[in-house]
Every structure is written in C-alpha cells, then in structure tokens.
Structure 1
Amino acid sequence: MSGELLLEETLIKRSQQKKRTSPLNYKERLFVLTKTRLTYYDGRPEKKFKRGSIELSRIRCVEIVKNGGGSIPCNYKYPFQVVYDTNTLYVFAPSQNSRSLWVQSLKEEIKDNTVVFMKFHPQLWQEGVWLCCRQAEKQALGCEEYNLFGDITRKPLPPIPGEENKRRPPPDPPLSEEYEDEDADEDDDNNDEEVVVALYNFPGAEPHDLSLVKGDEYVILDKCDVNWYKARNMYGEEGYIPSNYITEKTSGNLEQYVWYSKQVNRNKAEELLRTQDKEGSFIVRDSSTPGAYTVSLYAKSLAGEGSAAIKHYHIKEIEGSPKQFYLAEKHLFNSIPELIEYHKHNAAGLVARLRYPVGKQDKSAPSTAGFSYEKWEINPSELTFMKELGSGQFGQVKLGKWRAQHKVAIKAIREGAMYEEDFIEEAKIMMKLSHPKLVQLYGVCSQQKPIYIVTEFMEHGCLLNFLRQRRGSFNLESLLSISLDVCEGMEHLEVNGFIHRDLAARNCLVNDALVVKVSDFGMTRYVLDDQYTSSSGAKFPVKWSPPEVFNFCKYSSKSDVWSYGVLMWEVFTEGRMPFEKNPNHQVVMLVSQGQRLYRPKLATPALYDIMQLCWHERPEERPSFSHLCTMLSDTLEEDILPPT
C-alpha cells in the first residue's frame, strides 16, 4: 500500500543554509520513510511535531556525501543527501550500515522518477560554495556522474545488527497544528528578501513568465535552477525570469552601474573606446587579477604622443576598516562608485576626466537558456525560415525567427545522421549550459521529421571562415582576444563536466559584436559512425586529436585542451590547415614521435609556449582551461599602466 512503512530512525538533519551568511545547525529528527514520502519529526516523547515532508516523486538524487569539508560538527558522522526540487537535504546517520540502508532504500523507491539527475555534487554545499568543485552557484550542474542504482548488483543490504525489529508504526495523526510546510526549513530565516535590479528588458514569452523592465527592482522568490528564478515585481505579479538578466541590489555590486562592463577584456575595451572616439570616454572592467578592477580611459591628445591614446589604470585598494580605493594616491574613497564620481569632475593624475561611460547603453541582452523556464520543446509552427546559411555534418542550417521576433539558427537533422533519441535527452541538459562564450541551445522540435535544433544565431558564421576572409587584417591583440573567448567558453564546459570532443575553429562561431563562441559541444557522441567524417576525411578529427584519442579513443577535458592548442594555432595562422602537407596517417606517426606544429609568425614566443603546454604527451601535464584563461588574460593585460 502507498503508506507502507519502509524505514524509521532518529537521524541528524543539517539546516539547508539558503543564505551564505546563515549559521549552520544540526538537530535530531525522527525520519520516517514510506512508499510515497520521506517525513521528519521533532520526536520529543510528550509531543511529536511534523517538521518537514518530501514526496518521493520530487526527489532528483539520493547519494552518500564524501566528507571533503573536514570534521563533522555533530555526533553522527555518516552524511547522505536527498536532492528534491531545488533543495538539498543533508542527513547524518549514526553508522555506515545505517547510511547505506537509507540510501539504498531511497534509491530503490525513486528509480522510476522522471526528474533524476545525471550528475550530482559528491561533497557539501557550505558557505556559498560546493566543496567538491568550488562552484559558487548553488544550482550549478553536478561534477560527478550519478548512479541511480547504487552498486550494480542492487542486492538488498543486510539489516543493522541488533536493530532488525526496531521498526515502529508512524506517529499517530492528527499532528500538532504547529507542523511546518513541507518545503520549509525551520532552521532558516526566511524573512530577508533578496532584491535584484533588471539589467535588460525581458518580454515574457510564456504565461508563467514575468516581464522585466530595465532598472526596475524585483524580489526573488525561488531560485528554480541556475538559469531561471521565480520573482515578484512591485505590483505583486509573479513569474519566471532569466537569472542572467538581473543583478543583486547591494552597495558593493558594480553591475548596476552603466560604466561597468563585466565581460569586456582589454582588447574589446579599446575597440569600444576607439569606436566612441570621445575625449574622456571610459569603461570600468574586471582585471585579469580576480576581484580587481581596471579603468580604461580614452584621451584624444597626449603630450608627446601626437594622437589619441588609451590608458589602463588599476583601481588600487588599501586594506582596513573600511577598505579604501584610489586611482591617484592622494584621493582615497570608501567605494568604487564614489571614486568614479570624483574622477568624473577631477582628472587628479589621470590623462583626462572620466566624462563618457561606454558599454552598456547599446549592449544587447544576453541569450537565455531556452525561451522560458523548462521550455525545451519548440512548436515548429512558431518558426519562420528566412534563408539558408550552409550545411553541416547533420544537415542544412537556416536563419529563422521564433514567433517572428527572435533571430535563431535552425539545424534540420538529416534522417539517419545521428542517434536522435539519445541526443534529445542530452539536449535538455545542454540547454542548461548558459555562458556568454557558448552558443546557446534554445530547444528542439522533436515531434516531427526532420528534427530541428534551434540555437542562437551568430551573424559572422564560423570562426575558420572569419579568419580566412579577413586574413591580414588582424593584430596580435585581436587574435589573442579570439583565443581568450574560446578558452572562457571551454572553461565553463570543463567546470560542468562536459567534454567537447571536436573543438576546432570550424566549430566556433562569431556574432555581430565580434564575440567568438564555442558551438556543437558534445555533439559527436550522437553522430552515426558511417555518417560523420571530419573535414580531413577521418572518422574523427586526427589533426586536432591527442595521442590518447587516436590510440585509445580516450576523451577528457585534457584531450579538449590539446585540441584548443591546435585551435590557437589556427587563430594565429589566420585559418591555415594544421599539418597541411601531411595526410592523417603521417600526422599520427609524427605526433607519436613527438613532433608538434611550428610557431606561427603572428604568435609571440610566450604564446607559442602556451600552445606547447597544451600539447604535452601526458594528459595530466596539460593545463586546465582555468589556468589557460589566466595565462591569456595576463598576456592581454601585461602593459596596464600605473597612475601618472
């Protein structure tokens, strides 16, 4: 029967720490598992209070927790996790056998759930970060593959010695009127509202969406996943909003200011300032040093230089209480906005006053992860086809519009070109990967033939053609900026446990703002063997592949790093074919013997050193994409000026 008792035991529950600042606490609770619910009670002998209850159908993951956070501050030392909706319940068992019994029993009951994760976080969420992968977003994709069934035998575990007959009937109803709502957590303070400011307009696409007006304030009600939040506006209307369209309203958050541009590196800042061509134009942006900021300032006439120039100034900090900031040492300020406001009226050591903020006024809104919350299936009748863009390994690609307003690229999948059912399942996960340097997947049309894949439209097409068509027009900084764009996109895939498998200039795209984004990540897994051939005619792209791939078909983030080194070579040769004079079988032999691509003329020795780091024979000796991003950013920023 649905209420059949499965397990009952006193365990310790940890508060969910919904806010980074909320203190953690641990409380004994009587946990009761039936065929339909996991319920926990404040089990005082004189009165039982229901403290929380979770329907098993809503559970997405049950797994042991590896203790990566040091000592456990409660009496029970064997933690496991129950992930449901967007919450994670941490429970501590008194013994390894007890924990195994709870985890295996729960896994058995949820094995047919439709919402189960493919990946999970094996360590705790604590003080605003996942201890396993150091991601600071609570709804970030997991970093370890989740096994729905526990051990592969799935044999029932033996009973805990001496406790075979300890099962008791569930507490007698009715429960006290003081029981909590099943989603509530008695240990958290829910009175503090998180207020955000809209950075862009968002016209809600579906009835359950909430439209955003740039500059207006909203209250966050629920962080449904990493890409979509539920919010309320000033009129009391509620709905879903894209998380990358808002920013927290706090005094230290620079994103609410028009002069701050988060995703702008040194080269792009210079392009924007030269386009503006105004004395005193400026941008405040992130430095290559994490947590530091740079002011990029345009001056039309500088003594001795005879022409316009762009100067870059670090914003310096003085530690203390309060912390102070300066651009010129005699002028200290308690915040960066105060500093900017002062230098709008006084050059005070800079080459010009900060007169015209550049950047956000004309900045187009970023892509959203799908057109609406949990909308991945797109009705083909809502698509308008405009013109053919080309054809790829899967079929034709056309420019179109969704609901006559959003420009999109539509890939029509040629019948027999891919494992369609497997891809459609993966597409639901790929849609959640949202980053400014990844081509956004908006959804699929899977209820008809041919299947359509709907993605962000990139005006300048593939990077390889972009490089070849403009050969001779690139400077070192622009090629380095292209390389950094791709590296940042790959870093996001690496952090989220995604392997590209076919990274090359042909699989990156360029938009109208000349931002380069990584495309088609992970797609090669779904290509049928007799259909997929790379541009070189091989079953896999030999000239971009490391030895462990062409010898053992062993893919990893480090095999992507090798391919990235080849992509950098493509960029700095402005689109030449790697090993252009050698057929594939010779390339395999040459690379196995230790030969590598030569240094491109446009690449400095330092940049060629970075490429060679990517081409280490042993995968573990290659850098991570995070390390590569740091090295490339440092190269871009190497001539930041001190104040004069």
Structure 2
Amino acid sequence: MADVILEEVLLKRSQQKKKTSPLNYKERQFVLTSEKLSYYDYDPEKDKRKSLKGSVDVEKIRFVETVIPEENAIPERHFPFQIIYDEGPLYVFAKNEESRKQWIRKLKNVVRFNKDLAQKYHPWFWVDGKWLCCQQESKQAMGCRKIEPKNSAFTHSRRISRKPLPPTPLEREEKILRPLPPEPTSQVLPPLATEESVIAIYDYSSNSALDLQLIKGDQYTVLEKPDANWWKARNKYGQEGFIPSNYVTEAGNEFDGYDWYCKGMSRNQAESLLKKENKDGGFLVRESSKPGKFTVSLYTKVTGEPGTCRHYNICTAPQGQFYLAEKHFFESIPELINYHQHNSAGLVSRLKYIVSNKNLRAPARLGYGEWEIDPRQLTFLKELGNGQFGVVKYGKWQGVNDVAIKMIKEGSMSEDDFIEEAKVMMKLQHTNLVQLYGVCTKQRPIFIVTEFLVNGCLLNYLQEMMKPVNLVYLLEMCRDISSGMEYLESQKFIHRDLAARNCLVDDCGTVKVTDFGLSRYVLDDEYTSSAGSKFPVRWSPPEVLLYCKFSSKSDVWAFGVLMWEVYTLGKMPYERFNNNEIVEKVTAGLRLYRPQNANETIYTLMKNCWHEKPEERPSFHEIHSNINDLLYELQED
C-alpha cells in the first residue's frame, strides 16, 4: 500500500445525485496517498477510522481549488475546497485556513502530472442542479473563471480568507436573486428566462383547441410552464399550444431515446423487472448509486435453476473512454452497449434482450384544462374490491389505458365539494403519487378514474412478501412514500389517512400514495369521529385523537406508523388494544415497539415521527433526506 501523505478528519458535503437531492454534511477521515484520496467513517470516541465510504483515484483528479463560502455559513463551513474529477465536484471543509492550505498544496503536488488538467473552474458551489456562479445547469460544464497562473493555491486562499474575490456580473446578479426564493404555494411557474428544447417521446393528438400535436422524435421549444402538467410550446412550423409535460424529455439527454435506459430505477426494481421478464441475457441500463455513473443489470439463466441478476458498473478510463468487465474501450455508452449485445467479453452473458420500464403506449391524458371523462369511453373488466366510498373496478379507458374506477355510492361523499377539489388534485403529479386522470360527474354514481397499479395494495403486498426479506427494499419502499409525501407537503396538501392500505405497488415494485385528501369528503359519522370504529385511530397523533387537528405533521405521525407496518410486513399497529384503549394509551405516551426487521437507526426515524408536540416532528423533506442518506450509505462502496 502506498505511503500516507496526509490524513485528517474533515467535513464532507454529499454529492447531489439528482437535481433537487437534499444536502448533508458528515465528518470523514480523509487519507491521501500518491494513488488515492480515500475517506472513511470516523469514530470520535475511539479516535480512529472505520469502514471505507468512498475514494477518488488521484489520476482522475482534474484540479483542486478553494470555493467561495456560502453566505451566512456556519463556522464549520468557512474553509471549503473542491476536488473535481470525472464524477463531478467533491466538496470538503477544512477546520481552519492552515489545514485548507496544506490539503490543497499536497493534492496539487500529487496531481501535477495528470493529463487534461482543467484551465477554468467554478468559484461557487454546485447546488440544486446549477452552478451558483454562472447559472449553467450541466455538472460537467466548463468553469467560468480561469485558474490562477502557476497553479498557485496560496495567493487565492489568502485572498479568500481576507476578502472574497470581486464578483463577476453573473455573480452579482445571482447575489441579488438568491436571498428569498418564493414559497411553493402552487404549481404555477414563471415564464422561462431562456428557451428550452424538448423531444417528444410519445405521439400526442390534441384533445382540445388549446393543445399542440406532438410527433414522437420531433423537437419543440418550450415557451412557458403555466403548471407542472402542461407546458406551452412551439413546433418547428411555428405553431404554438399546450403539451403534456410527461410526453417530452429534455433535448440533449442522450440516453432517453434508448429503450434499454431505465431512468430513476433502483437496483431492487431492476432485479424485479428482469426476473419478471425471465429471459436469459435480459438487460437494462440504470443510474448507479454513484452520481454520474451507470450500471448494466443483466439476467442469466442456467437450465433447471432459478435465474440470477448480475450488476456491472460502467467504468471510465483515464482518457474518458467507457468499458465493462474487460477493457474493451468505447467512446460512448451506446457504442459499448451495442458491442456487448454481440459479444459477452467478460460478462456472464452477452446482452441479448432489452428489458425496459418505458410504457409501450403513452400515459393517459385529457386535454389541457379538461377534467371530465366521458363514461362511454370506460370499459369495466373486473371488480378489485370495496373501498370507503364504494366498489373499485379495473377497466380500460379509450380501450387501451389500464385504469382503476372508483364508483362512488350515493350518500357516502360530499360530492360537490369533491368535484371542485378534483380539479386541483388532477394537477398533482409525482412519480410516487397515484395519478388522478379525471372524473365522471354527469351521472350517478359518479366515477373517479385513476392510474391502475398491478400489484395492488401495499398492505397485502407486504403480507404476501417472500422471505428472507430484502431490508434494502423495505427502506426503498419508505423512500418512495416519503418522496410522494414530501411533494404533497410542498403543495400544502394534507393526506389525512396515510397508511399501508392507502398505498399501491406497481409492476416494478415502486410504491405510490393514493386517496390523498379524500377523507375530508366522507359523510360517515363513524369514520369522521375518533370514537368510531372506522376512524384511523391507529395512525393518528394525540392532537387528532383529542381535537381533530390535522396538519402535515399529523401526516408525519401516520408515516411513522406506516414505516412500522412496512418493517413488520403488514402487522396491525397496537394489535392487542381496541380503539378506546389506543386513544387512552397513546395520549399517555405509549408508542409502538421496534420491529424485528428494523435496526435502531430505522426505529429512531419512526420514533422521531411520534413526538407528542407536532412542532418537534420532522418535515417530510427532512425524513426523505434521512432515508436517502441511509440508502446511500448502504449502497456506497
């Protein structure tokens, strides 16, 4: 092993995997050798390093520089520096100026002979999908400021510590714009500052006079985004109109046009999809747990034995070329995939069959501004069950779209109030929410038409789950739900009845929240009273049980109980007590026990949701961030 050049406990900022991934800061034991910069989990009580959390090959580092601290940064973040390599920026915070100087000097010394050292850098941080200095939205964008002559870090560091560099015009503009972002009170967004190009991934025939027809593969210019679902766009002939936002993808996203690329897919979802297809040599490409990296997931079968999944990280050579198991180099990932479709070359099998999560047909849509579905376009195929409001059936809309149809029995719902709310609910669009397509209100009973998820209710799915249990998948389920609830929280929307029975599971194992807000329209006194047998007492916090005070923080309490349901594989909360006993014991401080499948860290997440005072419970943003951190640590090399 190479000799240690420098070793110190420093603060590390997480790398944003996605545009809006929450940030976190953790102490890590950094160790620099001539070959690698490694960072380890650190035990302050024993003052020693523990498990390896990540590393950067020295030969891949393109430059090292300071970063201008963020305004109002806490003292621990006053001395940041950045290490840029092929995966993007690694931000580290030294404890003082001398420490920062030493790290930059040593790092620059070991990388001084690297090829393709950068000539420009970004003096500000990369945050929420853009560089704060120049507003560029590509992580790989060339820097906006030249690196100082002679590769000197000391002059730059001294200037930073005494007085920040004079801001560029873009920096001055950013400083003016940054302090007070508007609260997300609605989905209405301002017109775009610059034109944005998108590519149609589905054909779309306009369903109203305001719509613009889409042709798959054509490019369109986005003019404005009046809400999250509908954008105003212009085609190549100059015609303008509204287009559904989920029918297009950002122009320049090089992989979206390939069926083998499954954007946003987790490892467990990939394995589920590949096993479902059950084809030897079935494969897909997904985002790796490391930001900016990709993984090939491959399914292989041996006659008479169950199939297995193998996962191969797509590696990057120092010259920027791509390769898999054996070093057959390619200039692009599509070239690499094409090669391995014909040659195994170190893989367990060649890539024989593309397995994709892309819909073969376009998502169901009404036209812009429309919410009423013609019931004559619905075909009822089979009954799925009885819900709070009546029978739920599986069917087809327009003969092709799989839908769930809730047939609302008369007298069960405050219909007029719901119909007005449905217009708002249709605008709620998120990967982890069951999509409301429309309603049929011109006859009785009225129908609510939603997305259909083939694996049904999460509660039943948990109870039927095969053992041994995949603990990472349980946490991914909680991540899915917290993501949907974080979105509802941002839209000031309260669920009021969050539980495993009100979540559904799709064919890839993704969990989506459903029936959000519907409990407000129930006319059943037994349901709306906490004394009734139908009221969700087992998922309710003290302020709801005692005063019927609902808020996003009462949803947080229910989420903690839902996590408990997930980790007990669908057990009934407080199973030994009746509703009256639960009200008495919960208001007196009783909380659910730790499930066998949940470690202390997971159980702490649950307990944080069950603080008696609502203001002491975390937000869904904080919950989702914490779960993401746990998943990242579980999957981090």
Q: Which TM-score applies when normalising by structure 1?
A: 0.61
Matched residue SS, 2:525? coil
Structure 2 residue 192 is the aligned partner of structure 1 residue 197 = no
Distance 2:500 2:431 in 1: 17
Residue identity in the other structure for 1:131? P
Structure 2 residue 563 is the aligned partner of structure 1 residue 513 = no
- Structure 1 residue aligned with 2:181: 131
1:119-168 deviations in whole A, cap 9, x for unaligned?
A: xxxxx999699813479xxx7259xxxxxxxxxxxxxxxxxxxxxxxxxx
Distance 1:129 1:265 in 2: 35
Distance 2:438 2:307 in 1: 49
Distance 2:188 2:610 in 1: 29
Deviation at 1:379, TM superposition (A): 2.5
Q: 1:133 to 1:636 in 2, by over 3 A?
A: same
Which range is displaced more, 516-525 or 381-390? 381-390
Q: 1:257 to 1:246 in 2, by over 3 A?
A: same
Deviation at 1:546, TM superposition (A): 1.2
Where does 1:91-490 land on structure 2 (aligned, <5 Å)? 131-133=181-183, 140=187, 193-206=195-208, 208-234=210-236, 238-250=240-252, 255-273=256-274, 275=277, 281-285=283-287, 287=289, 292-298=292-298, 310-311=310-311, 313=313, 338=332, 341=335, 360=356, 362-364=358-360, 367=363, 370-470=365-465, 472=467, 474-490=469-485
CA RMSD in angstroms comes to 4.4
- Structure 1 residue aligned with 2:9: none
Distance 2:179 2:403 in 1: 35
Where does 1:15-164 land on structure 2 (aligned, <5 Å)? 131-133=181-183, 140=187
Residue identity in the other structure for 2:231? Y
1:313, 1:641 within 8 Å by CA — same for their partners in 2?
no
Residue identity in the other structure for 1:374? G
Q: 1:307 to 1:419 in 2, by over 3 A?
A: closer
Distance 2:293 2:443 in 1: 50
Structure 2 residue 615 is the aligned partner of structure 1 residue 613 = no
Matched residue SS, 2:427? coil
Structure 2 residue 575 is the aligned partner of structure 1 residue 580 = yes
Q: 1:574 to 1:246 in 2, by over 3 A?
A: same
Which range is displaced more, 308-317 or 512-521? 308-317
Matched residue SS, 1:432? coil
Q: 1:281 to 1:553 in 2, by over 3 A?
A: same
Deviation at 1:227, TM superposition (A): 0.5
Structure 2 residue 487 is the aligned partner of structure 1 residue 492 = yes
Distance 1:527 1:130 in 2: 39
Deviation at 1:519, TM superposition (A): 0.7
Residue identity in the other structure for 1:140? Q
Structure 1: segments with no counterpart, 5+ residues: 1-68, 71-123, 143-182
Distance 2:350 2:219 in 1: 28
2:188, 2:225 within 8 Å by CA — same for their partners in 1?
no
Deviation at 1:263, TM superposition (A): 2.5
Q: 1:361 to 1:509 in 2, by over 3 A?
A: closer
Which range is displaced more, 458-467 or 429-438? 458-467
1:11-59 deviations in whole A, cap 9, x for unaligned?
A: xxxxxxxxxxxxxxxxxxxxxxxxxxxxxxxxxxxxxxxxxxxxxxxxx
Distance 1:125 1:562 in 2: 38
Deviation at 1:541, TM superposition (A): 0.9
Q: 1:268 to 1:460 in 2, by over 3 A?
A: closer
Distance 1:473 1:364 in 2: 33
Distance 1:639 1:214 in 2: 39
Residue identity in the other structure for 1:197? I
Question: Which of residues 545, 554, 557 in structure 2 aligns to 1:559?
Answer: 554
Matched residue SS, 1:492? helix
Distance 2:279 2:388 in 1: 43
Deviation at 1:367, TM superposition (A): 4.3
Distance 2:580 2:444 in 1: 38
Residue identity in the other structure for 1:270? E
Residue identity in the other structure for 2:393? K
Q: 1:364 to 1:474 in 2, by over 3 A?
A: farther
Distance 1:309 1:342 in 2: 20
2:530, 2:545 within 8 Å by CA — same for their partners in 1?
no
Structure 2: segments with no counterpart, 5+ residues: 1-70, 73-173
1:312, 1:640 within 8 Å by CA — same for their partners in 2?
no
1:264, 1:285 within 8 Å by CA — same for their partners in 2?
yes
- Structure 2 residue aligned with 1:65: none
1:266, 1:636 within 8 Å by CA — same for their partners in 2?
no
1:259, 1:357 within 8 Å by CA — same for their partners in 2?
no
Q: 1:229 to 1:460 in 2, by over 3 A?
A: same
Q: 1:618 to 1:204 in 2, by over 3 A?
A: same
Deviation at 1:199, TM superposition (A): 2.5
1:398, 1:409 within 8 Å by CA — same for their partners in 2?
yes
Q: Which TM-score applies when normalising by structure 2?
A: 0.61
Structure 2 residue 567 is the aligned partner of structure 1 residue 568 = no
Deviation at 1:637, TM superposition (A): 3.9
Distance 1:535 1:640 in 2: 42
Structure 2 residue 498 is the aligned partner of structure 1 residue 503 = yes
Q: 1:131 to 1:358 in 2, by over 3 A?
A: farther
Which range is displaced more, 633-642 or 462-471? 633-642
Distance 1:216 1:634 in 2: 39
Q: 1:196 to 1:380 in 2, by over 3 A?
A: same
Deviation at 1:300, TM superposition (A): 5.9
Distance 1:327 1:534 in 2: 62
Deviation at 1:383, TM superposition (A): 2.6
Distance 1:355 1:602 in 2: 36
Q: 1:639 to 1:218 in 2, by over 3 A?
A: same
Distance 1:547 1:324 in 2: 57
Deviation at 1:543, TM superposition (A): 0.5
Matched residue SS, 2:623? helix
Deviation at 1:385, TM superposition (A): 2.7
- Structure 2 residue aligned with 1:624: 619
- Structure 1 residue aligned with 2:48: none
Deviation at 1:325, TM superposition (A): 9.4
Residue identity in the other structure for 1:267? N
1:283-308 deviations in whole A, cap 9, x for unaligned?
A: 23264x7x64442544869xxxx995
Q: 1:425 to 1:325 in 2, by over 3 A?
A: farther
Q: 1:357 to 1:385 in 2, by over 3 A?
A: closer
2:262, 2:285 within 8 Å by CA — same for their partners in 1?
yes
Residue identity in the other structure for 1:229? W
1:206, 1:372 within 8 Å by CA — same for their partners in 2?
yes
**Is the helix fraction higher in 1 or 2?**
2
